[in-house]
Structure 1
Amino acid sequence: MYNSSSSSTPSSSSSSEAGDIRSSVFSPGEPLRQPRTSPPVSDSSAESRSPIPSGHNSSSAADALVKNSKLSAAAPEFVPGCYASFQDDVYSDDSEGHYPEPSLADFIQDFVSHLNLSPGSLESEIDYITDTLNSCVTTEEILQELVELIYVQSTSIPNFAYTGARLCNHLSHHIRLSPASGNFRQLLLQRCRTEYEQREQAVRGDPGTQKRFHSYVLFLGELYLNLEIKSGKDTPGRANVLLGALKDLLNALFSHPDDPNLMCAVKLLKLSGSILDDTWKEKGQSDMDEVIKKIEDICLDAKCSRDARQMLLKLLELQSSNWGRVHTAAVSSDATPDNDPNYFMNEPTFYTTDGTPFTAADPGEYRQRLQSALPYIYNEGMLLCCSFCGDEDEMDPEIEEAFERFCMESDARRKK
């Protein structure tokens, strides 16, 4: 340890050594050497190659940079060699626009798919569909293509025959183009006639051929019910040309009475049997009697399955009850079980303890069973009302009074 009496020489020497240490630690020292991969560049050469002269401000430096740059705004776009242009592949015909115009087939398929998902939108969107089709159906070839597209969609999509028939009816009145070969309705009937002429081969064909033929038969039935033909000032009527075609189709189905053909015939008669029966009777024809006779003979002699025979028997029962229609129903206030077949239609159905259903139409034990069931029904109703007020033991007085008044009014209305 040094004291204050020490000489100044060692003290000065020690302070100079400390200053040298501090300067060596905190001063930047020599610059780092250049990496070995790049030779060092002298200051003179760097200054000669620099586009920005020393001593200039930033704006003059930017001007010098732009002046000496070899970049150009008019240079062609750089595209890597491995890049394939999607636009060149798709639009090689130099067509204008980014997307090609949809074809008629695409448009028909799109709106038919939409109508199949939401049939109720036909009424609100049919005008738009018609205007679009009128703008693109400008030649006879396009009109024939339109008829073919709608026919195929109506006979190939399950459960679309009804909507397709309604669509055909509207287009038959609103498609403006009517060439010499025929308008929309005439071309559609010609297309249907093509399938009609192949009926004898179709009912004996393979399962795929039969399935397509059955779809055509049901579509023709819907077309007969929905296609309207205007004749002068009279109200529009049905296409009578389809009436004889439907009878011939039924005869063809019954001529080869296997299960698919019989089930198709049953579906057609359930769909249009009442209308066909009325129309034939108005014309003084007994065609429906002939159809019923064929069905009875098939039930007795044909080797069809039990399910097909049961469907035919149910159809005979339906026809014998005037196709389920009641023309002379009594007024509701005067209706009785004797004069109104629909008297018990809205009555509730009860079930016994063993699961047997019984209604007011059941003779004998109905009144006794109903009286025995009423206490249970009343108790269940009281319990239900109590559940609304939160107490299963008693009801709120106002709710109880309202419930009793409701029961009295219901009883009075029933007695009237």
Structure 2
Amino acid sequence: LPLLYFRKPKMEKVKKVVDRSPIPSGHNSSSAADALVKNSKLSAAAPEFVPGCYASFQDDVYSDESEGYYPEPSLADFVQDFVSHLNSSPGSFESEIDYITDTLNSCVTTEEILQKLVELIYVQSTSIPNFAYTGARLCNHLSHHIRLSPASGNFRQLLLQRCRTEYEQREQAVRGDPGTQKRFHSYVLFLGELYLNLEIKSGKDTPGRANVLLGALKDLLNALFSHPDDPNLMCAVKLLKLSGSILDDTWKEKGQSDMDEVIKKIEDILIDAKCSRDVKQMLLKLLELQSSNWGRVHVAAVSSDATPDNDPNYFMNEPTFYTTDGTPFTAADPEYSDKYQEILDREDFFPDAYEENGNDSFCGDEDEMDPEIEEAFERFCMESDARRKK
């Protein structure tokens, strides 16, 4: 049942009403009560009544006298709630995003609120660990579905302006204290995710990536390499593992050698920089990844022409079998034919070992019982019946 809303009474006023009530002298208590009721300004039909011991909670919560039992959540509270939900359940993004967008559209009605929304989502996306990818997806969706578009810019434009503010402070950030570096590195990785996920529609063309972020990512890499301490180099490695293949492809399509310049900087750092052995190992692994075309296989054979020699994924979907000692093997195993024939021979040796549905049938007829087991079961039943009679 809903809670009743009570308003705190003014006890002084009630007392004065009672004091002013004329009670004729010489009347009994019943007459006095009748006179009090007749002249009282209190009404049973009043919309609210509160005993004196109650204090008003909602008077403090609702200064505007609005209806309801709880305060309306602020924009910051709502953003924090749905970001926390998406962070803990990223798989619910598709099912929840429409509700989130509709709610935001209902409350984002002014330029000031829109700017606040952009700031809130940017802060959440760059401060919550492992939320950069979901945050970038969220920003992409809102950039296409937030209806308000004031003169200062729509959601996407305001977001890119916010990112530019951090971009312009890159040279100071890479040389800052550990806290400043950490915030900057979170921003760099978020911008990498934003480049991969933010789609910009241009007329009737297929939506493409924000090219303005392409140059920004190169400048951020250069800033990180300009101060090659361990945290900056680790951030650069993470960014290149995240987006290196896309950056490489895009630069090559534009006829630019930017990735070659990045690789040259890494090679120089490996020779001259005084970074830790672990970070050097990370850089070497990154160079190895880039030299192998970022681990990608561009050309796969047509399924009808595929062979173990021309298709590295030839055996990918083959089932795994096990020998009698539990050793796994697949069709890629050189001794596959012999081992598989051994399994077939075992099945031929026990033709009725498995039923058609795969259930074991070694136990025989369920209605039959071993004589020794049957005798023990009867003895158990007799002893149980004897204990009950006692």
Task: Pick closer, same or farther for the CA change 1:267–1:82 going to 2, 3 Å.
Answer: same
Task: Pick closer, same or farther for the CA change 1:134–1:336 going to 2, 3 Å.
Answer: same
Distance 1:45 1:251 in 2: 80
Distance 1:332 1:410 in 2: 68
Contact 2:9 2:52 in 1 (8 A): no
Task: Pick closer, same or farther for the CA change 1:406–1:174 going to 2, 3 Å.
Answer: farther
Instruction: Give the secondary structure class of the aligned counterpart of 2:64.
Output: coil
Contact 2:306 2:314 in 1 (8 A): yes
Contact 1:273 1:323 in 2 (8 A): yes
Distance 1:278 1:110 in 2: 38
Task: Pick closer, same or farther for the CA change 1:265–1:71 going to 2, 3 Å.
Answer: closer
The answer for unaligned runs of 5 or more in structure 2 is: 1-5, 345-350
Shift of 1:287: 0.2
Contact 2:21 2:36 in 1 (8 A): no
Task: Pick closer, same or farther for the CA change 1:67–1:286 going to 2, 3 Å.
Answer: closer
1:132 counterpart (97, 100, 103): 103
Distance 2:108 2:129 in 1: 27
Shift of 1:357: 12
1:245 counterpart (216, 219, 229): 216
Instruction: Give the secondary structure class of the aligned counterpart of 1:218.
Output: helix
Instruction: Give the secondary structure class of the aligned counterpart of 2:30.
Output: helix
Contact 2:17 2:41 in 1 (8 A): no
Q: Deviations over 1:25-56 (max 9, x none)?
A: xxxxxxx99999xxxxx999999999999999
Equivalent residue, structure 2, for 1:379: 355
Distance 1:233 1:35 in 2: 66
Distance 2:14 2:88 in 1: 80
Contact 1:389 1:395 in 2 (8 A): no
Shift of 1:285: 0.4
Distance 1:288 1:34 in 2: 71
Contact 1:134 1:175 in 2 (8 A): yes
Shift of 1:320: 0.5
Q: How does 1:250-269 map onto structure 2 within 5 Å?
A: 250-269=221-240
Q: Which moved more, 1:106-115 or 1:68-77?
A: 68-77
Contact 2:9 2:50 in 1 (8 A): no
Distance 1:92 1:187 in 2: 33
The sequence identity of aligned pairs, in percent, is 92
Task: Pick closer, same or farther for the CA change 1:51–1:226 going to 2, 3 Å.
Answer: closer
Instruction: Give the secondary structure class of the aligned counterpart of 1:243.
Output: helix
Task: Pick closer, same or farther for the CA change 1:399–1:80 going to 2, 3 Å.
Answer: closer
Task: Pick closer, same or farther for the CA change 1:289–1:376 going to 2, 3 Å.
Answer: farther
Distance 1:261 1:329 in 2: 37
- Matching of residue 142 in structure 1 with residue 113 in structure 2: yes
Task: Pick closer, same or farther for the CA change 1:148–1:395 going to 2, 3 Å.
Answer: farther
Q: TM-score, normalised by structure 2?
A: 0.70
Q: Which moved more, 1:249-258 or 1:369-378?
A: 369-378
Shift of 1:94: 3.4
Shift of 1:350: 12
Distance 1:336 1:404 in 2: 64
Contact 2:79 2:121 in 1 (8 A): yes
Q: Deviations over 1:96-136 (max 9, x none)?
A: 43322211111111111111111122212222221111111
Task: Pick closer, same or farther for the CA change 1:318–1:181 going to 2, 3 Å.
Answer: same
Contact 2:174 2:227 in 1 (8 A): yes
Contact 1:156 1:212 in 2 (8 A): yes
Contact 1:52 1:61 in 2 (8 A): yes
Task: Pick closer, same or farther for the CA change 1:361–1:35 going to 2, 3 Å.
Answer: closer
Aligned length: 373
Distance 1:341 1:140 in 2: 54
Task: Pick closer, same or farther for the CA change 1:69–1:286 going to 2, 3 Å.
Answer: closer
Q: Which moved more, 1:152-161 or 1:56-65?
A: 56-65
Q: Deviations over 1:385-416 (max 9, x none)?
A: xx976999999999999999999999999999
Contact 2:17 2:40 in 1 (8 A): no
Shift of 1:170: 1.1
Distance 2:205 2:331 in 1: 47
Task: Pick closer, same or farther for the CA change 1:204–1:403 going to 2, 3 Å.
Answer: farther
Task: Pick closer, same or farther for the CA change 1:88–1:61 going to 2, 3 Å.
Answer: closer
Contact 2:105 2:147 in 1 (8 A): yes
Q: How does 1:14-413 map onto structure 2 within 5 Å?
A: 84-332=55-303, 334-343=305-314
Q: Deviations over 1:142-175 (max 9, x none)?
A: 1101111111111111111111111111111111
Instruction: Give the secondary structure class of the aligned counterpart of 1:35.
Output: coil
Distance 1:33 1:181 in 2: 45
Consecutive aligned runs of 4 or more in structure 1 exceeding 4 Å deviation: 32-36, 42-84, 343-363, 365-380, 387-416
Task: Pick closer, same or farther for the CA change 1:126–1:77 going to 2, 3 Å.
Answer: closer
Task: Pick closer, same or farther for the CA change 1:201–1:400 going to 2, 3 Å.
Answer: farther
Distance 1:249 1:136 in 2: 35
Shift of 1:328: 1.3
Q: Deviations over 1:252-273 (max 9, x none)?
A: 1111111111111111111110
Task: Pick closer, same or farther for the CA change 1:235–1:76 going to 2, 3 Å.
Answer: closer
Contact 1:169 1:227 in 2 (8 A): yes
Task: Pick closer, same or farther for the CA change 1:206–1:66 going to 2, 3 Å.
Answer: closer
Greater relative CO, 1 or 2 (CA 8 Å, sep 6+): 2
Contact 1:218 1:268 in 2 (8 A): yes
Task: Pick closer, same or farther for the CA change 1:163–1:57 going to 2, 3 Å.
Answer: same
Shift of 1:367: 11
Aligned-CA RMSD value: 12.9
Task: Pick closer, same or farther for the CA change 1:116–1:48 going to 2, 3 Å.
Answer: closer
Distance 2:382 2:272 in 1: 59
Q: Deviations over 1:278-327 (max 9, x none)?
A: 00000000000000111111122211112111111111111011011111
